[in-house]
Amino acid sequence: MPKISKGDFSWIEYVCKNLFRVCYLINQINKGSHIFSYKTLIKNSNKKDKELVNLLLKLKKSDWDKKLFISNLPKLIKLVDKISKNPT
């Protein structure tokens, strides 16, 4: 965990990367053990998860842009809620 007091903590990146981990774990449950890569994550995701992964990749490509994150937060919450109700 980065040291928040040093200013090298990005909460947006932290949240998104943990959501990537959740999607990866769901992938492993559904497709079996495999090495993490963004390409594999997209390939192995079902329709519901793929929408979340694509949004997370969009945020990653923007270098975790705060405005983009905030504007997509309602959609992000809705997608995570959908997955949490039926993760596999």
Domains of the chain, residue spans: 13-85
At 56 the pLDDT is 95
The model carries a pTM of 0.82
Residues 45-69: b if buried by 16+ CB within 10 A, e if exposed:
beeebebbbebbeebeeeebeeebb
| pLDDT values of the chain reduced to their tens digit, one per residue, 88 residues | 455 555 555 788 888 999 999 999 999 988 899 899 999 999 988 888 899 999 999 999 999 998 999 999 999 998 888 888 876 6
